[in-house]
């Protein structure tokens, strides 16, 4: 499923192709998050025009609403949401452990209460695989235990061991139906646990591997240290997926460390709050400075919003809380992310990725680290109340 095409000297950046049931996609690749079988405010035609090649949906949320049986009756997730490209589904391990007001680990799996109505449910490794098989996603994820990055070592170690046991059961339950089942590596912020977890999970010979349990409020220096530690013990001939990481600067940093797949709700979430990506950093389109700005949000951007509307118009829409504001801002941010990924792939192909990275990070003004952590924790609190995309 994974064909390595080129590696860029001076960094870990690599160019590859990933073949799935619904097409071959280039990597590195960024997946917009459509937890409820939709990327908020957009149609799948919008995604096509933006250049999105693959999306992420969430089995936990689809299990609760509308129900796996409804999607099965529709002919699978692709037909249900009218998306012809590849889909990756998360098993819901993170949501079970972050959203629920009640959860209990058992030998069989996890018992939890729905964040919607408080009803009790149970998910096992076997049922997590079965649900995703019914959904028909191209890449499906093993059920894991995802503790907080700041949790004590003992809790991280228990989570790692449970994740390994569950991964073995997921591997045994998975049918050879063309879907690709990925294992997830945990271990928190402890290098020795990351190494042990990577060695455990890769011993099961999954077709791809994910790094989980990061970007949960820890400093970025610590996050990248864990990524670098983990990648050392991941096979070079399999795709590497860094879960839940997707700010522009993190995409570039992750690619330089050999990551192939990224996903995050960040670009769409901040878009709905009026934060628009540009080559120089975020613009807060709600600011009064844009009230009479008749230029597009970013000169030269070819997204639908910038081709057709001024910054002043988007400012007006946000101030009036018009629904079109969220659609146009989301289109712009996802277009920016796709363009960034495309530029990174071209730089790898041409052997100049280190220069590309340096140039991008010099011009892109990142969010202050303290402010970033505050925003991340606010987003996590929002997820606990059900605002997950």
CATH number for position 75: 3.20.20.105
On the question of pLDDT at 385 being above 50, the answer is no
Residue 375 forms part of a structural domain: no
On the question of pLDDT at 272 being above 80, the answer is yes
Residue 46 forms part of a structural domain: yes
278: which strand partners?
Answer: 281
Phi/psi at 218 (nearest 5 deg)?
Answer: -75, 155
Residue 58 forms part of a structural domain: yes
The interaxial angle of helices 323-349 and 353-363, nearest 10 deg, is 150
Whether residue 118 contacts residue 84, with contact meaning beta carbons closer than 8 Å, is answered with no
Question: Do residues 57 and 95 both lie within one domain?
Answer: yes
Q: How far apart, in Å, are the Cα atoms of 337 and each of 25, 42, 344?
A: 16, 15, 11
Q: What is the dihedral of CA 165, 168, 173, 179, to 10 degrees?
A: 120
Residue 26 forms part of a structural domain: yes
Total number of domains constituting the chain: 2
Question: Do residues 228 and 352 both lie within one domain?
Answer: no
Q: In this prediction, what percent of the chain has a pLDDT beyond 90?
A: 85
Question: Do residues 127 and 170 both lie within one domain?
Answer: yes
Q: DSSP of 175-240, one letter per residue? A: --SS-EEEEEE--TT-HHHHHHHHHHHHTT--SEEEE-S-SSSS-HHHHHHHHHHHHTTS-TTS-E
The candidate with the shortest Cα–Cα distance to 303, out of 271, 270, 339, is 339
**Which residues have a Cβ under 8 Å from the Cβ of 51 and sit 6 or more positions away?**
335, 338, 339, 342
Last residue of a domain, one of 243, 269, 295: 269
Residue span of the structural domain in which 309 resides: 271-370
On the question of pLDDT at 243 being above 70, the answer is yes
- In the structure, what pLDDT confidence band is assigned to residue 148 with cuts at 50, 70 and 90? confident
On the question of pLDDT at 375 being above 80, the answer is no
Q: Is the pTM of this model over 0.85?
A: yes
Question: Do residues 276 and 232 both lie within one domain?
Answer: no
How does pLDDT run across 320-360, given as a tens digit for each residue?
999 999 999 999 999 999 999 999 999 999 999 999 999 99
The candidate with the shortest Cα–Cα distance to 357, out of 8, 15, 50, 18, is 8
Q: What is the mean pLDDT of the chain?
A: 94
Sort strands 208-211 and 275-278 into parallel, antiparallel or unpaired: unpaired
- Least confident piece of the model among 119-123, 316-320, 330-334: 119-123
> Where in the sequence numbering do the catalytic residues fall?
90, 263
How many whole angstroms separate alpha carbon 339 and alpha carbon 52? 10
Residue 48 forms part of a structural domain: yes
How many whole angstroms separate alpha carbon 202 and alpha carbon 200? 6
Question: Do residues 263 and 292 both lie within one domain?
Answer: no
Question: Do residues 263 and 342 both lie within one domain?
Answer: no
Last residue of a domain, one of 269, 299, 329: 269
On the question of pLDDT at 368 being above 90, the answer is no
Whether residue 261 contacts residue 31, with contact meaning beta carbons closer than 8 Å, is answered with yes
Q: Tell the burial category of 26 from Cβ atoms under 10 Å away from its Cβ (0-12, 13-18, 19+).
A: middle
Question: Do residues 281 and 261 both lie within one domain?
Answer: no
Q: Which two tokens stand for residue 360?
A: 């991008």
On the question of pLDDT at 2 being above 70, the answer is yes
Question: Do residues 79 and 203 both lie within one domain?
Answer: yes
Residue 21 forms part of a structural domain: yes
Question: Do residues 280 and 188 both lie within one domain?
Answer: no
Last residue of a domain, one of 225, 243, 269: 269
- Least confident piece of the model among 21-25, 27-31, 89-93: 89-93
Residue 381 forms part of a structural domain: no
Q: How far apart, in Å, are the Cα atoms of 281 and each of 267, 292, 365?
A: 12, 21, 5
Alpha helices in the chain (DSSP H): 44-50, 59-64, 68-73, 77-81, 93-99, 125-135, 153-173, 191-202, 220-231, 248-256, 266-272, 304-308, 311-320, 323-349, 353-363, 369-384
Question: Do residues 162 and 287 both lie within one domain?
Answer: no
Question: Do residues 27 and 159 both lie within one domain?
Answer: yes
- In the structure, what pLDDT confidence band is assigned to residue 105 with cuts at 50, 70 and 90? confident
How many whole angstroms separate alpha carbon 269 and alpha carbon 292? 25
110: which strand partners?
Answer: 105, 123
How many whole angstroms separate alpha carbon 335 and alpha carbon 47? 9
Whether residue 142 contacts residue 130, with contact meaning beta carbons closer than 8 Å, is answered with no
Residue 201 forms part of a structural domain: yes
Three-class SS state of 330: helix
Question: Do residues 218 and 74 both lie within one domain?
Answer: yes
On the question of pLDDT at 137 being above 70, the answer is yes
Q: State the greatest distance between any 2 C-alpha atoms of the chain, in Å, as a whole number.
A: 61
């Amino acid at each position: 499923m994974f064909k390595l095409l080129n590696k860029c000297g001076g960094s870990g950046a690599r160019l590859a192709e990933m073949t799935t049931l619904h097409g071959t996609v280039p990597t590195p690749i960024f997946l917009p998050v459509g937890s409820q079988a939709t990327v908020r405010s957009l149609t799948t035609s919008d995604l096509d025009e933006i250049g999105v090649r693959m999306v992420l949906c969430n089995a936990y949320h689809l299990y609760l609403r509308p129900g796996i049986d409804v999607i099965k009756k529709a002919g699978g997730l692709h037909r249900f949401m009218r998306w012809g490209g590849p889909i990756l589904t998360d098993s819901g391990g993170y949501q079970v452990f972050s959203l629920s007001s009640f959860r209990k680990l058992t030998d069989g799996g996890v018992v939890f209460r729905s964040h919607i109505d408080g009803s009790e449910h149970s998910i096992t490794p076997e049922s997590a695989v079965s649900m995703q098989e019914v959904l028909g996603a191209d890449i499906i994820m093993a059920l894991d235990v995802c503790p907080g990055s700041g949790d004590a070592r003992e809790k991280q170690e228990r989570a790692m061991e449970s994740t390994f046991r569950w991964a073995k059961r997921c591997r045994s339950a998975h049918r050879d139906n063309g879907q690709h089942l990925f294992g997830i590596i945990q271990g928190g912020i402890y290098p020795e646990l990351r190494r042990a977890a990577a060695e455990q999970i890769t011993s099961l010979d999954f077709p791809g591997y994910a790094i989980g349990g990061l970007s949960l409020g820890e400093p970025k220096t610590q996050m990248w240290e864990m990524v670098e530690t983990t990648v050392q013990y991941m096979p070079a001939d399999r795709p590497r997926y860094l879960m839940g990481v997707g700010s522009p600067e993190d995409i570039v940093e992750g690619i330089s460390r050999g990551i192939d797949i990224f996903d995050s709700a960040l670009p769409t979430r901040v878009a709905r709050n009026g934060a628009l990506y540009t080559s120089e950093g975020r613009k807060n389109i709600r600011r009064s400075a844009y009230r009479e700005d008749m230029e597009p949000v970013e000169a030269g951007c070819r997204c639908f919003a910038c081709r057709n509307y001024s910054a002043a118009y988007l400012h007006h829409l946000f101030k009036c809380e018009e629904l079109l504001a969220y659609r146009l801002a989301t289109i712009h941010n996802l277009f920016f992310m796709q363009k960034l990924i495309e530029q990174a792939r071209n730089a790898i192909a041409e052997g100049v990725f280190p220069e590309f990275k340096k140039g991008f990070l010099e011009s892109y003004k990142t969010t202050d680290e303290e402010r970033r952590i505050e925003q991340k924790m606010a987003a996590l609190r929002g997820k606990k109340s059900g605002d997950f995309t």
